């Protein structure tokens, strides 16, 4: 369940006032996802996605992702395009939380990918890597090898059945850190490329940054 924040008609009225888009006449919560609240917004002829960022998202990093999605669209990479409001900003406040509206992507995810799917997705990601070489935005990897030990240490291994797993993970992490390559290339990647973040339609692939 990914609808943590409930919105109502007055919130939709606020959105209609803030954005120069077709008037939203219908909205529905989207259950898929685990971190943020998402709603499908419908006007007479178009659809949009409202994302309300919940506690796990670092607020200061959100503008980076907005700019990234916008620039990826300009580079003809299929991903949601963030909309700017009448003030020229990507972000608004709803229920005292940061939120954005992005374009709607047609298509559906697939539960099982074949080899051709994986190959074609790889080509799209390679195109993304090539395109982002010229982008003047960057962000430190919050899930990099330097950040993994605090994450590992925060896990509560309460069951006795996990005693060996805890030891295994910590031993392997030490080995990974010791052998981690020192001169890996740097660049923007898609750090959340799961099958539910990839949409398929007419053999074309679209993906979500969040």
Average pLDDT along the chain? 89
192-208, pLDDT tens digit by residue? Answer: 888 888 888 876 655 55
Tokens of 50: 């409202």
152-210, pLDDT tens digit by residue? Answer: 888 887 777 767 888 889 899 999 999 999 888 889 998 888 888 888 887 665 555 54
68-98, pLDDT tens digit by residue? Answer: 999 999 999 989 999 999 999 999 999 999 9
Question: Which of the pair, 143 or 24, is modelled with greater confidence?
Answer: 24
Distance between CA atoms of residues 140 and 135, nearest Å = 15
pTM of the model: 0.84
Distance between CA atoms of residues 19 and 137, nearest Å = 26
Distances (CA, A) of 73 to 52, 100, 103, 122, 130: 21, 16, 11, 18, 14
Helix axes 145-153, 163-179, angle to 10 degrees: 160
């Amino acid at each position: 369940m990914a609808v943590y924040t409930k919105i109502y008609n007055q919130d939709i009225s606020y959105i209609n006032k803030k954005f120069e888009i077709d008037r939203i006449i219908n909205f529905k919560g989207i259950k898929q996802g685990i971190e943020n609240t998402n709603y499908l917004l419908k006007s007479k002829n178009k659809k949009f996605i409202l994302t309300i960022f919940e506690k796990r998202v670092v607020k200061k990093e959100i503008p980076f992702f907005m700019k990234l999605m916008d620039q990826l669209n300009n580079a003809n990479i299929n991903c949601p395009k963030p909309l700017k409001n009448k003030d020229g900003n990507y972000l608004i406040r709803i229920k005292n939380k940061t939120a954005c509206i992005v374009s709607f992507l047609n298509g559906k995810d697939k539960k099982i990918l074949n080899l051709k799917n994986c190959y074609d997705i790889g080509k799209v990601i390679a195109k993304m890597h090539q395109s982002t070489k010229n982008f003047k935005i960057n962000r430190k990897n919050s899930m990099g090898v330097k950040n993994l030990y605090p994450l590992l240490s925060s896990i509560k291994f309460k069951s006795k059945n996990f005693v060996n797993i805890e030891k295994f993970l910590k031993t392997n992490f030490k080995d990974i850190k010791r052998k981690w390559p020192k001169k890996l290339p740097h660049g923007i990647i898609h750090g959340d490329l799961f099958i539910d973040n990839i949409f398929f339609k007419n053999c074309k692939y679209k993906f979500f940054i969040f």
